[in-house]
Each structure stands twice: as structure tokens, then as C-alpha cells.
Amino acid sequence: MSPTGSIAKHLPLSEATYYIMLMLVTPRHGYGVMQQVDQITDGVVKVGAGTLYGALSTLEKDELVTMVRKEGRRKFYELTERGREVLRCHLGRLELMVDNGRQVMGTKPRGE
């Protein structure tokens, strides 16, 4: 899938932005995003508060995420449809990179 110009300008995503967006497929508040990234990566990837809130601000400005509700001080964010498209395109890029790496290195996918 080749991204259109409006999508392509957001690619490639940084590792932190990728994980933040991935966690916002379902609505989450900032601290929940940090916890979930830590959990899903077994602690390999850490997203600090400064990185998270800076990225959320940019993603919201670029209309890739939107605040869906507020509970006290917690703001819950979720990917927009445009954000989902950017994430899908980035996943395609990652799959291509992994496939190319395996081909060149002569390795097989995990579990094979």
C-alpha cells in the first residue's frame, strides 16, 4: 500500500510515536499509554512523560488523534481514521523492512 501525500508526510514514525499511536487504537489516557507500552514491549521500550505529551500535542494538531473524553485531570485520546491510516501504512513499511532483512540475512520468522 503506497501512502497518499497527506499520509506520507507523517512517515516514518519514530519508535515512540508508533507505540503511542498503537496504544490509542482504543481510548486511553496518557499514563495508561505509558503503562501499556511498557507491558507490551516487556519493558524494552519506555515512553517518558515529556515524550508522550509532546507527541500527543503534535498528533492532535495533525488530526491523527483526538481527545474523546476527560475524567478529572485525565484526558483520554483515540486515533482518528486518518491516524489509523498512518499507522496501517507504517506497519506496511515495518513488514517490508522485516521481510527484506530476513531475505538478505537468510533467516526465518520466529516459530518456524
- Residues 64-79 have pLDDT tens digits of 999 999 999 999 999 9
Answer yes or no: is 73 within a domain: yes
Q: What's the start-to-end Cα distance of the chain, in Å?
A: 27
Tell me what pLDDT residue 27 has. Answer: 98
pTM: 0.91
Write out the residue range of the structural domain in which residue 48 sits.
Answer: 5-98
Tell me what pLDDT residue 105 has. Answer: 93
Rounded mean pLDDT, 36-45: 97
Answer yes or no: is 19 within a domain: yes
Helices 81-105, 15-23: axis angle to 10 degrees equals: 130
Answer yes or no: is 57 within a domain: yes
Q: How far is CA 105 from the centre of its chain?
A: 27
Tally of domains within the chain: 1
Measured distance CA(53)–CA(55) in Å, rounded: 5
What is the rounded average pLDDT for all residues in the chain? 94
Contacts of 48 (CB under 8 A, 6+ apart): 34
Answer yes or no: is 106 within a domain: no
Rounded mean pLDDT, 29-45: 97
Answer yes or no: is 10 within a domain: yes
